[in-house]
Structure 1
Amino acid sequence: MSSHAIEISLLGRTYSIACPPGQEKALQHVAEKLEKQLISLKSRTNNLSREEISIMAALNIGYELLEEQQKNQDYNRQMDEKIGLLQSTLENALVERSIKED
């Protein structure tokens, strides 16, 4: 599978970005979300350069990603504990059943 370029617009500039087939909508969605964040940052901080606004947006997105990864790790940890408890409960029930049958 080869990539092809799609065009996205950020802060009035158009960029040609390589995109794997089938991922065009996802890339467009991300570009739209990024554009909204860039516009919001620009409106709040008129004296920053395009580069500084982009760095701030990248840091904000990175922080959001880190938060989601931590939530995911916490969820996985909770599920592992619940699965362990369920396995233990099932094993104990099977042992009790085999003792009663003897």
Structure 2
Amino acid sequence: MSTSAVEITLLGRTYSIACPKGREDTLRTVANEVESQLTNLKTRTNNLSREELAIMAALNIGNLLIEEKQKNQQYMSQMDERISLLQATLENSLIERSTKDD
């Protein structure tokens, strides 16, 4: 898979990041989210180093990711329950119909 270099800026520093072709916009979107987290943390806590800001931003983003994974898992469980209920309803209807036809 070929890659291209994408330049992103975080806290005033520009980085050239290797990125798979076709995923550049996604990388830029992620970089914008990271920049938003970093800027937000920097304005709230003036005494953190770049490294500490990066760690705090990573923890915040990781927390958001885990919350979304949990929501997705709950949604998938609900859908599995609904599909099972729908299958049972269809099977019961087919059984009722076949017994009426006999």
1:57: which partner in 2?
Answer: 57
- 2:34 is paired with a residue whose SS is helix
TM-score, normalisation: structure 1:
0.97
Aligned length: 102
1:80: which partner in 2?
Answer: 80
Deviation at 1:37, TM superposition (A): 1.1
1:10: which partner in 2?
Answer: 10
Cα RMSD (Å)? 0.7
**Correspondence 1:19-38 to 2 at 5 A:** 19-38=19-38
Q: Which amino acid aligns with 1:61?
A: I
Q: Structure 1: which 5+ residue stretches go unaligned?
A: none
Moved more, 62-71 or 29-38: 29-38
- 2:15 is paired with a residue whose SS is strand
The one-character-per-residue Cα deviations of 1:44-96 (angstroms, maximum 9, x if unpaired) are 11111000000000000000000000000000000000000000000000000
Are positions 1:94 and 2:94 aligned together?
yes
Moved more, 78-87 or 28-37: 28-37
TM-score, normalisation: structure 2:
0.97
Q: Structure 2: which 5+ residue stretches go unaligned?
A: none
Question: How far apart, CA to CA, are the structure 1 residues paired with 2:37 and 2:79?
Answer: 34
Residue identity (%): 68
The one-character-per-residue Cα deviations of 1:12-64 (angstroms, maximum 9, x if unpaired) are 11111111111111111111111111011011111110000000000000000
